[in-house]
Structure 1
Amino acid sequence: MKQIILFDGACNVCDKSVQFILSNDPKANFAFASQQSTIGKELMAQYSVRDVNSLILLDGLTYYTKSTAVLMICRKLKFPWNLASFFQLIPTSIRDSMYEVIAKNRYRFGRKETCMLLTPDERKRFLD
Structure 2
Amino acid sequence: MSRWSPQDAQDEPNGLILFDGLCVFCSRWVRFVIDHDRGGRFSFAPIQSEHGRTLAARFGIDPEAPQTNAVIWNGRIHFKSDAALTVLGQLPSTRLLALLKGAPRLIRDPIYDLIARNRYRIFGRTETCMVPSPEIRARFFV
TM score, norm. by length of structure 2: 0.80
Name the CA distance, whole Å, in 2 between partners of 1:91 and 1:4. Answer: 24
Q: 2:138 aligned to 118, 124, 128, which one? A: 124
Q: CA separation of 1:117/1:44 partners in 2, compared to 1, >3 Å: closer, same or farther?
A: closer
Residue equivalent to 1:14: 26
Which runs of 5 or more residues in structure 2 are unaligned? 1-12
Could you tell me which amino acid in structure 1 is paired with residue 111 of structure 2? M
Residue equivalent to 1:67: 81
Name the CA distance, whole Å, in 2 between partners of 1:122 and 1:49. Answer: 28
Q: Which moved more, 1:106-115 or 1:25-34?
A: 106-115
Using the TM superposition, give the Cα deviation of residue 43 of structure 1 relative to its aligned residue in structure 2, in angstroms.
1.9
Q: 2:44 aligned to 19, 24, 32, which one? A: 32
The answer as to 2:111 corresponding to 1:98 is yes
TM score, norm. by length of structure 1: 0.88
Work out the number of aligned pairs and report it.
Answer: 126
Q: Residue 71 of structure 2 contacts residue 78 of structure 2 at CA under 8 Å; is this kept in 1?
A: yes
Deviations 1:35-77 (A, max 9, x none): 111000112234x334730111123542111000000001111
Residue equivalent to 2:8: none
Q: 2:120 aligned to 98, 101, 107, which one? A: 107
Q: Secondary structure at the match of 1:13?
A: helix
The answer as to 2:67 corresponding to 1:53 is yes
Q: Secondary structure at the match of 2:101?
A: helix
Name the CA distance, whole Å, in 2 between partners of 1:83 and 1:18. Answer: 19
The answer as to 2:14 corresponding to 1:2 is yes
Q: CA separation of 1:61/1:44 partners in 2, compared to 1, >3 Å: closer, same or farther?
A: farther
Deviations 1:86-108 (A, max 9, x none): 11111111000100000000001
Using the TM superposition, give the Cα deviation of residue 115 of structure 1 relative to its aligned residue in structure 2, in angstroms.
4.0
Which runs of 5 or more residues in structure 1 are unaligned? none
Q: Secondary structure at the match of 2:39?
A: coil
Residue equivalent to 2:7: none
Identity %: 37
